[in-house]
Chains A and B, each alone.
Chain A
Amino acid sequence: MKNVLAIFEKEIKSYFVSPIAYVVLTVFLIIAGYFFYNILTIFMERSMFAAMQSQQFGGPPPSIDVPALVSRNFFGVLSTVILFMLPMVTMASFADEKRRGTIELLMTSPVTNLQVICGKFLGALVFFLIMLLPTMLYQIFILIYSSPRMAFGPIFSGYLGLLLLGGALISLGVFISTLTENQIVAASVTFGAFLILWVIDLSARSGGTTLQEILSYLSILNHFEDFSKGVIDTSSVVIYASFIFLGLFLTFRSIESLRWRQ
């Protein structure tokens, strides 16, 4: 545990001594802020328009739950944006150690490969959490200014889902980072892999055949939707946990094989 913590600390420190971290944080915040503003205005206009219509024609009052819709759509956007940002978070994790030769330091120190991998995974996950922190402000705004007061549950489950989804993507990214010593290659391949996950998700949504049903079960993006609606489904949690485990297991095997391949 002490070793995992040492590696974890080093990872976090590494993020914040390199410019990449600040670039990723800034870009992510700009995009998230822009989308939040857009989503908010769209749904406000829609609800106002509906209210006006009901006044003019004397129909029943509109039943648009603006806070819930904004929050849900914002989570949906975040889950897509992280597909573009996380490759940059994981690209360095092993590729850079290989390029610098510091992998030799790690592997000749009395730490196990598992400890190194856990430390690096946790480092990336916590950095991701730091990325998400400012977006919580937006959710708090909705929470405060919504009337009647919006439920807290969906926000919590949304962030839990984001963390699980992010963890799954990070474990895949860390694995890909072990395959090369070039960060750009690692980032590109990771991005490509994320796109494939996205395509799987899109094709799963477009119909109802058996194959598509299977795909929709496997699509890790699809499972996120439940979380953004405030539903914590055990099967989704299990899917994410298995995905993270698979990613870390592949990383472990890849690092072990490094010794035998060279």
Chain B
Amino acid sequence: MIEVDHLTKRFGSVKAVENVSFEVEKGEILGFLGPNGAGKTTTMRVLTCFLPATEGTARVAGFDVFDNPMAVKRRLGYLPENPPLYGEFTVNAYLDFVAKIKGVDSRERKKRIEEVKDRVSIKEYGNTLIKNLSKGYKQRVGLAQALVHDPQVLILDEPTVGLDPNQIIEVRQLIKGLSGGHTIILSTHILPEVSMTCQRVVIISKGRIAAMDTPENLTRQLQGSERVYLEVKGPETTIKEKIKEIEGVLRVDSNRLDADGAYSFAVETQLKKDVRSRIARKVVDSGYDLMELRAMSMSLEEVFLQLTTKEEGVRGQ
């Protein structure tokens, strides 16, 4: 449904997004996870035809965002970080205007507006001025605005930012309820948010994709363990056994390096337990040649340090 291919966006000499490629399947919720300033909003703005890409292409529902922006815009609902609302309008007047410029047929307009109001549960606020609504309800009106023309693709930029814990839970449930019918990209810097709502996560940092996987895999990979990489000359299985004896080691994977009988080992260890010296001693004491030993630096970890991994007061559903 959405194909992004080697997308680069430069602002002057600053690269906001560099060589980003990913795809989103129909009906999927993709989480866009990254610290502030990582390039999430920029990528989304390119997808919504708001900004042109410097290099690379992006296609939404089969249409190129640069060559055929009108076709893309018709099929796309977008909720920017600050919902684009006219405070002095009532909810009904506002949604009516949006429905008109989104090309909703005049005969269906009233029905559609009622439907989306029902969907985001703001039915009783139709005649309220938007500026008098609470932040959570403004966010809902923003969502209603993105949904009013029943788009195939929904792009939501930090939809829960600035909401209180109860509102966050409500908005997340709402988004989850939308999957299936719509293909959704959602950006956030909150780790639990993606694990709760998304089927797949793209982690983006400093404009580049750092990882792409399911939330479960990523969380396990990153929060449970650290990794040590070593190269040893010697028998594969024996060394594996020896390393496994060390306290704190969770898993050992090995690979044959070359014909000399050298192997590489990736050792997964528990968090905060530096076992490098013990591994080194064990290997040398056993009489094998230790060629290399280092902690695997995972750029992802750095990314995660900047992410919000815990939420005060927001209980998981």
Chain A contact residues, CB within 8 Å of chain B: 2-3, 6-7, 9-10, 13-14, 17-18, 100-112, 259-260, 262
Contact = CB atoms under 8 A, between A and B. Distances in A.
20 contacts: A3-B100, A6-B97, A6-B100, A7-B101, A9-B97, A10-B86, A14-B88, A100-B87, A103-B84, A104-B80, A104-B84, A105-B78, A105-B98, A108-B48, A108-B73, A110-B70, A110-B74, A111-B101, A112-B70, A259-B51
A101 B80 contact: yes
B54 to A, nearest CB: 10
Nearest to B82: A101
Of A103, A106, A109, A260, most buried by chain B (CB within 10 Å of CB) is A109
Contacts of A7: 101
B124 to A, nearest CB: 21
Interface string B84-95: 111111000100
A107 B89 contact: no
B42 to A, nearest CB: 9
Given A101-B83, A108-B49, 20 more contacts: A3-B100, A6-B97, A6-B100, A9-B97, A9-B100, A10-B86, A13-B89, A14-B88, A14-B89, A102-B84, A103-B84, A106-B101, A108-B50, A108-B78, A109-B102, A110-B103, A111-B101, A259-B50, A259-B52, A262-B51
Majority SS of interface residues in chain B? loop
Nearest to B11: A262
Contacts of A259: 50-52
Interface range for B: 20 to 34
Interface in B34-81: 48-52, 70, 73-74, 76, 78, 80
Contacts of B93: 13
Contact of A110 (B73, B89, B97): B73
Contacts of A18: 88
A109 B85 CA distance: 14
Interface of B: 11, 48-52, 70, 73-74, 76, 78, 80, 82-89, 93, 97-98, 100-103, 145
B103 A107 contact: no
A100 B74 CA distance: 23
Contacts of A17: 88-89
B73 A100 contact: no
Nearest to B100: A6
Nearest to B87: A100
B84 A2 contact: no
Contact of B97 (A10, A101, A260, A262): A10
Contacts of B51: 259, 262
A23 B68 CA distance: 44
B138 to A, nearest CB: 12
Contacts of A14: 86, 88-89
Contacts of B101: 3, 6-7, 106, 109-111
A95 B70 CA distance: 24
A100 B93 CA distance: 17
Contacts of A110: 70, 73-74, 101-103
